[in-house]
Amino acid sequence: MPFFDAGSQFLGLDEPPDYESLTGAACRPISPRSATPMPTPSTGRSRKDWEQLAATLRPEGRAFIGGKLVGSVAGRTFGDISPIDGRVVTEVARCDAADVDAAVKAARAAFDDGLWRRTDPKTRKGVLQRFAELVRNDTDRLALLETLDVGKPIMDSVNVDVPLAADCIAYYAEYADKLYDEVAPTSPHELALIRREPLGVIAAIVPWNYPLIISGWKLAPALLAGNSVVLKPAEQSPLSAIRLGELGSEAGLPPGVLNIVPGFGEEAGKALALHGDVDMVSFTGSTEVGKLMLRYAGESNLKRVAVECGGKSPHVVLKDADIESAAAGIAWGIFYNQGETCHAGSRVIVHASVKDALLEAITRVTATITLGHPLDPATRMGALIDNGHMTRVLGYIDSGVSQGARIVLGGRRAYEELGGYYVEATVLDGVRADMHVAREEIFGPVLTVMTFLEEPEAVRLANDSIFGLAGAVWTNDMNAAHRISASLRAGTVWINTFDRSSPATPFGGFKQSGFGRDRSHHAIDKYSDLKTIWTAYR
């Protein structure tokens, strides 16, 4: 079935997105030092253009197993609902244990066959480079799939999600012919080789907030290392993952090397994590489900587990900070992607003497972050993922107010008439460390504000969380900046910026934000095993 109706005039990009300026930003378009928002990107299309393109889109909903698109064994499907308006985008294969088993068998057969893992490095590099290129060339449809599924602004899908997924695949492609193994020091007449070998079948289980980017973080290093992958996208956002399966195959991945099993967590996800022939599960999602992954591994075959989980990242703002830069970094840091970002800077801990100035500046920046229809190029904040999540986010706002917080901005549902799930950018002041809004991951556009007087108190408040994914320090005093960043228990600390990253920097958490790292050469180790080959010679 064609992806678009024949005759669509929108099959190509009129103006390619400015990849260069965005390659360093994981999720948010801010400049490196000042955290100033970049100008709204434009591909020259109007909302009407995108809506017409969406109307002609024919998304593929079947699973991708053994190099083929297939329906579920039981013939069951589920309606893939768009948070933009609550309508069903398409029916998607509802994979369960039988489909997962077929995918794992295909992955195992491909691994045993060795067609991929034993391919010479130059060929493997070429296939991954072509995969990255095909992703880039497919920007329009991938971006639309992402926006229809997740409700994020189309401009972000075009300029951030698609290019960053392609960049990640291209980054790991380069390792194929540049990675060396090791020779250990031994006595004379002996040679000990330490070889990196693929683990086998990797189960990648991913969330709905950045489906393309996080899938890329997992499948690119796993494939580079020579593994086979079974990717389970979140039930809310399966469409771009299915398309990735098709593109990987078109790029030259042998059948069975990359399989996609859409379905529900309790069905497809659980069956995959419990499967006895899966060698590793690489999970990104909530801390609650991350803990289940450890249980499933223990109850089954002691497969390896890497878990990237939730966050509640603090911004520590000292009294000498550049308030304008801090406000831009803080506002974009919580409202980008509607606050549905694992490392969103959701807790401001500001010196009491500059709180009012900071709140005033955050209010000004937030006024430029337009909440609206995700297919409108001017929109910078779209819809939340579903009705249940929107209700939960609104419930947190109510809980904050009932526990004594004051709403400075927002606080309400918006655009109810669209039938989707929109919540205003919300700032809560007067928050105390014991409130639910300060302790739990809201995963929506809600910023909490607390004050401090002395530096140790700021550090204590920042670390007073079960999470430890990221944090930021805003100050012109570099001694204080490094003192505080060394004291923060978090996988990433930004100083005078927020959310700068690249495929070359590891990403992951401390504490209950999980363990294992995505991105960088460290991720390759996660998908590899070490084998010693000891030889005696004369």
Nearer to ligand NAD (CB atom), residue 237 or residue 487: 237
The torsion angle over the Cα atoms of residues 54, 58, 62 and 68, rounded to 10 degrees, is -120
- The first and second tokens of residue 302, run together, are 């002691």
DSSP H or E stretch at residue 451? strand 446-452
Q: Check residue 238 for interaction with ligand NAD (CB under 6 A).
A: no
- Segment near ligand NAD (CB under 6 A), from 204-212, 318-326, 392-400, 452-460? 204-212
Length of the chain as a residue count: 538
Smallest gap from residue 367 Cβ to ligand NAD (A): 27
Smallest gap from residue 365 Cβ to ligand NAD (A): 23
What is the Cα 468 distance to its own chain's centre? 16
- The CA–CA distances, whole Å, from 335 to 230, 332, 424 equal 32, 5, 9
- Contacting residue, 140, 161, 441, 499, with ligand NAD by CB under 6 A: 441
Q: What residue spans of 367-405 are helical by DSSP H? A: 387-402
Tokens 């899938």, residue located: 215
* Sequence letter at residue 170: A
Q: Check residue 225 for interaction with ligand NAD (CB under 6 A).
A: no
Smallest gap from residue 376 Cβ to ligand NAD (A): 25
Q: Check residue 308 for interaction with ligand NAD (CB under 6 A).
A: yes
Segment 344 to 373, residues that bind ligand NAD, using CB under 6 A: none
- Asked if 342 is an active-site residue, the reply is yes
What are 183's strand-pairing partners?
Answer: 193
DSSP H or E stretch at residue 306? strand 304-308
Helix axes 139-150, 121-137, angle to 10 degrees: 70
Q: CA-to-CA distance for 121 and 521, rounded, in angstroms?
A: 16
- The first and second tokens of residue 330, run together, are 């803080």
Tokens 């209950």, residue located: 512
DSSP 395: H
- Segment near ligand NAD (CB under 6 A), from 121-129, 157-165, 309-317, 431-439? 309-317
- The CA–CA distances, whole Å, from 465 to 86, 276, 469, 493 equal 34, 35, 10, 15
Please give the radius of gyration of the chain, using alpha carbons only, rounded to the nearest integer.
23
Nearer to ligand NAD (CB atom), residue 311 or residue 411: 311
- The CA–CA distances, whole Å, from 504 to 95, 380, 515 equal 34, 27, 18
What is the Cα 400 distance to its own chain's centre? 27
- Contacting residue, 265, 345, 444, 503, with ligand NAD by CB under 6 A: 265
Smallest gap from residue 385 Cβ to ligand NAD (A): 8
Nearer to ligand NAD (CB atom), residue 26 or residue 169: 26
Nearer to ligand NAD (CB atom), residue 263 or residue 410: 263
The one catalytic residue in 27, 168, 309, 342 is 342
Nearer to ligand NAD (CB atom), residue 222 or residue 321: 222
- Contacting residue, 67, 163, 256, 311, with ligand NAD by CB under 6 A: 311
The one catalytic residue in 146, 235, 246, 308 is 308
- Segment near ligand NAD (CB under 6 A), from 42-50, 59-67, 121-129, 230-238? 230-238
Q: Check residue 273 for interaction with ligand NAD (CB under 6 A).
A: yes
Site map (CB under 6 A) of ligand NAD, residues 319-348, x = contact: -----------------------x------
- Contacting residue, 199, 469, 473, 523, with ligand NAD by CB under 6 A: 469
Measuring CA to CA, which residue among 105, 120, 533, 509 is closest to residue 343? Answer: 509
Q: Check residue 27 for interaction with ligand NAD (CB under 6 A).
A: no
Interface residue list for ligand NAD (CB under 6 A): 205-209, 214, 232, 234-235, 265-266, 269-270, 273, 284-286, 289, 292, 308-311, 342, 441, 443, 469, 509, 513-514
What residues are annotated to the active site? 308, 342
